Structure 1
Amino acid sequence: MSEFDYDLFVIGGGSGGVRAARVAAGEADAKVALAESSRYGGTCVIRGCVPKKLMVFASGYKCMFEDARAYGWEVDEGAFDWTKFHGRLSDELDRLEGVYKRLLDNSGVDRFDGRATIVDPHTVQLGNGVKKTAKHILVATGGRPILPPIKGAEHGLVSDDVFLLDKLPNSVLIVGGGYIGCEFAGIFNGLGVEVTQYLRGAQILNGFDEEARGLISEEMRQGGIDLHTGTNILEMEPRDGGTWVKSSNGDERVFDHVIFATGRAPNTEKMGLEDVGVELDDKGAIVVDGYSQTAVPSIYAIGDVTDRLQLTPVAIREGMAFVETVFKGNPTSPDHDLVPTAIFTQPEMGTIGLTEEEAAAQEPIEVYCTSFKAMQQAFAGRTERVMMKLLVSKETRKVLGCHIVAPQAGEMIQIAGIAVKMGATKEDFDRVCAVHPTMAEELVTMRSPTRET
């Protein structure tokens, strides 16, 4: 009989924690428990990827109606009903949370609905005071959006709050130029809300390819978003039924809502981690080695709480690697190299590998890039442009980066990502026959470099 109540106790019921728990229980025959203080599914299912993508879908129909008329359809656009959409959204999230619970139950995982903290390297304490012991503890508590240190910031919203709005606002101020801020700017703009966006930097989407983010910002402005770079909020307060904002560009305006997308923090506070010897970095993230092990040998951590790559599929892979390492005797380090990513801005972006700036700093490269009006939108009289870009090593001919700005760019980068991950060369791309007429055919038909560095 084991000296512990469980072989594994997982703290956090998001995508990474649930995957690790059910695989350890179902495939490794481990005795597993999991505690979740909020809703099962975590940020991705409840407060992130899933509801956000459904809102992206909803916000795109206005343009579809306009395009349909250009294609000969008699369409009555009507009006968007936030209450109806929000009700369906809530039902879908409830359904998905139920799926996560059943996956755990069917795998034999004991579920504890409530907060859990760490008492010692092998003991967790539940919110009701009950203590459980485990040979291994896995922390998968994720992260949360935070408010910036601005006077009156407590009167603003964060991304989690957007999914709880009881009605669609007439005007919003989005603060932040990262992918979350830009995605919500596009969503609200598409739903007919007057959108203003402030960011401190000179350009949106810091860290992404310069040419790609330049095109996205241009299209966002042309689409109706009032985008202000180099702009901060100085102070804000409730006023006239909304939120009054004084900004560094001299504007003073009242918005229905101010939404901050200015950063996230790992959920490590008051968990007892440092008391038992787990190391945290200066942002509060759990420090782990290549196998997701902390400074305490029995305690591991995966997902956003480690602040490595804050992506749901990455957290899931880290969870799988943890199970392989700890329960299957197959030491596996999660692969964080060349991870394809989609940013659901409008227009959408898909990316993998190095940016042009990073690649050029690393070695001599060839840049293959094209920008054009896509057939479907051009026929409808729209002016939006798309972009396809490959960065190629002069020495090895390997494709070092691929960047796509276009409708369905996320779908395209998933497929292109396979080739880049395999180490495909530009000549490998050239050997592939084009699928015509498509946007993605440009990835295999660009014969001459646009420029060399």
Structure 2
Amino acid sequence: MTFDYDLFVIGGGSGGVRAARVAAGETGAKVALAEEDRYGGTCVQRGCVPKKLMVFASGYGEMAKDAASYGWAMHAGGFDWQVFKEKLEAELDRLEGVYRKLLAGSDVEMFDARATVKDAHTVQLSTGETKTAKHILLAMGGKPVKPGIPGEELAITSNEIFHLETLPKRVLIVGGGYIACEFAGILNGLGAQVTQFYRGAQVLRGFDDEARGLVAEEMRKAGVDLHLGTNILEMKRDGEGIWVKATNGTESHYDEVMFATGRAPNTEGMGLEEVGVELGRHGQVVVDAFSQTAVPSIYAIGDVTDRVNLTPVAIREGMAFVETVFKGNPTPVDHDLIPSAVFTQPELGTVGLSEEAARENEEVEVYCTSFKPMQQSFAGREDRVLMKLVVSKANRTVLGCHIVAPNAGEMIQLAGIAVKMGATKEDFDRTVAVHPTMSEELVTMRSPMRTA
């Protein structure tokens, strides 16, 4: 059978774009890609990139205050949301152009249209066209979901937060995951009065307990009004803004309410189950270790599979797909020991197992220190940081590394290499400290704080 393309990719996010251009550029495959929204996907348009720029913007107020303690005659004026918003939108436009240029440079044919799956080798475009391909790659990503609370249509999600016409003075963030905590810190730093509700006992579920406890403590010290064990009962708009009734008995008004209560794979209405693609309980595409679905010609990568929902992971999955399908080198995806960062204030960097997860498997030693970092302490601030190693008592391997500190994301990238290589505590000990730095504590902790 003759096909229009060797590969048709549905979704123009980081994973889909990487797979498309590498398949076309390095193997000579005839490739097409369809994207119904903006190229770059969640990461570039509605996630990592604009969020990190907002993190940077939100930090300058405290920086200016600290500068005075170091002898600089300066102060932070009022933050101008319009100035920042215009520059942010221009940067996202530029990055979308980069993605389009990369695809065009690899001779990938692009369709600015919604694509659905018609059969094992055919996609239907919203333009009315149908296209056939030997292989179809699903890379549609995910989307934020709301929790089904009365009045939830009044709330925004992480999709809309970057496009607000004005910066809210009073904002409620609902959720306790990394998106909720990151935006609580961002908006607080930009000058908003931030309240955060989370129904659980502690934010950042799944991360190391000690690390997430310190993040929550520092968020509160910075001014975020964090309420745990709390959720919204109902909400409605009145003359004072958005009225919210909470499960803790309080009633308050806010200019904006943002839900960060989870994300769902973009599989609805895609025609997947009709052609034999298996979907999981949450709508995720079920795949094997090589990202192949129950239909042999259809593969899936990224958030649509709900494996590890991180941009670099989607890119790695896309590369493994090309190796497997187009280069004849079967390459399973490696999801083990993935370093990650949460851009809260302070940041949380982590790789490997939390103390709680590690001690379920074996006896461990915990090396941990918390202290006031030099830069902030000199400025008279009470901020604290955390450096923590979880070590196997049996073979001395570092099972997990957890850092709560400014620039923890930069630190954990490098620590992640050592942990991925199987470094032992003695390997860390043999490494000479870089002084004076916060991260030197990772190689100077000699005695365990506890055995668990």
* TM, length-normalised to structure 1: 0.99
Query: Tell me, what secondary structure is at the counterpart of 1:182?
Result: helix
Does the aligned pair in 1 maintain the 2:317–2:333 contact within 8 Å?
yes
Q: Structure 1 counterpart of 2:282, which letter?
A: K
Deviations 1:145-190 (A, max 9, x none): 0111111111111111101101111010000010000000000000
Partner of 1:379: 378
Does the aligned pair in 1 maintain the 2:65–2:75 contact within 8 Å?
no
Residues in 2 aligned to 1:114 and 1:29: alpha-carbon distance in whole angstroms: 24
Partner of 2:242: 243
Partner of 1:269: 268
Residues 1:15 and 2:14 aligned together: yes
Residues 1:26 and 2:25 aligned together: yes
The equivalences for 1:361-440 within 5 A come to: 361-440=360-439
Partner of 1:43: 42
Partner of 1:445: 444
Residues in 1 aligned to 2:91 and 2:85: alpha-carbon distance in whole angstroms: 10
Q: Structure 2 counterpart of 1:91, which letter?
A: A
Does the aligned pair in 2 maintain the 1:82–1:168 contact within 8 Å?
yes
Deviations 1:198-244 (A, max 9, x none): 00001000010000000010011111110000001000011125211
Deviations 1:390-436 (A, max 9, x none): 00001110000000000000000000000000000000000000000
Does the aligned pair in 1 maintain the 2:290–2:330 contact within 8 Å?
yes
Q: Structure 2 counterpart of 1:188, which letter?
A: L
The equivalences for 1:71-150 within 5 A come to: 71-150=70-149
Query: Tell me, what secondary structure is at the counterpart of 1:227?
Result: strand
Residues in 2 aligned to 1:313 and 1:238: alpha-carbon distance in whole angstroms: 40
Partner of 2:166: 167
The equivalences for 1:240-319 within 5 A come to: 240-319=239-318
Corresponding residue pairs, total: 452
Between the aligned residues of both structures, percent identity stands at 71
Does the aligned pair in 1 maintain the 2:349–2:404 contact within 8 Å?
yes
Query: Tell me, what secondary structure is at the counterpart of 2:345?
Result: coil
Query: Tell me, what secondary structure is at the counterpart of 1:163?
Result: helix
Query: Tell me, what secondary structure is at the counterpart of 2:27?
Result: coil
Partner of 2:324: 325
Deviations 1:97-144 (A, max 9, x none): 000000000000000001001110000011111000000000000000
Residues in 2 aligned to 1:156 and 1:168: alpha-carbon distance in whole angstroms: 15
Query: Tell me, what secondary structure is at the counterpart of 1:410?
Result: helix
Deviations 1:236-266 (A, max 9, x none): 0111252110001111111000000001010
Residues in 1 aligned to 2:317 and 2:374: alpha-carbon distance in whole angstroms: 40
Partner of 2:341: 342
Query: Tell me, what secondary structure is at the counterpart of 2:434?
Result: coil
Residues in 1 aligned to 2:208 and 2:308: alpha-carbon distance in whole angstroms: 17
Residues in 2 aligned to 1:222 and 1:111: alpha-carbon distance in whole angstroms: 49
The equivalences for 1:192-211 within 5 A come to: 192-211=191-210
* TM, length-normalised to structure 2: 0.99
- Measured on the aligned residues, the alpha-carbon RMSD in Å equals 0.6
Uncovered stretches (5+) of structure 1, i.e. residues with no partner: none
Residues in 1 aligned to 2:193 and 2:239: alpha-carbon distance in whole angstroms: 17
Query: Tell me, what secondary structure is at the counterpart of 1:158?
Result: coil
Residues in 2 aligned to 1:392 and 1:76: alpha-carbon distance in whole angstroms: 45
Residues in 2 aligned to 1:30 and 1:239: alpha-carbon distance in whole angstroms: 57
Query: Tell me, what secondary structure is at the counterpart of 2:284?
Result: coil
Partner of 2:56: 57
Structure 1 runs of 4+ with >4 Å offset: none
Partner of 1:215: 214
Does the aligned pair in 1 maintain the 2:7–2:30 contact within 8 Å?
yes
Residues in 1 aligned to 2:266 and 2:231: alpha-carbon distance in whole angstroms: 27
Residues in 1 aligned to 2:205 and 2:239: alpha-carbon distance in whole angstroms: 34
Q: Structure 2 counterpart of 1:190, which letter?
A: G
- 1:76: Cα distance to partner? 2.8
Residues in 1 aligned to 2:187 and 2:238: alpha-carbon distance in whole angstroms: 22
Residues in 2 aligned to 1:360 and 1:259: alpha-carbon distance in whole angstroms: 36
- 1:79: Cα distance to partner? 1.1
Deviations 1:307-336 (A, max 9, x none): 000000000000000000000000001110
Does the aligned pair in 2 maintain the 1:11–1:34 contact within 8 Å?
yes
Deviations 1:40-64 (A, max 9, x none): 0000000000000000000000110
Uncovered stretches (5+) of structure 2, i.e. residues with no partner: none
Does the aligned pair in 2 maintain the 1:142–1:303 contact within 8 Å?
yes
Does the aligned pair in 2 maintain the 1:240–1:254 contact within 8 Å?
no
Query: Tell me, what secondary structure is at the counterpart of 1:212?
Result: helix
Partner of 2:357: 358
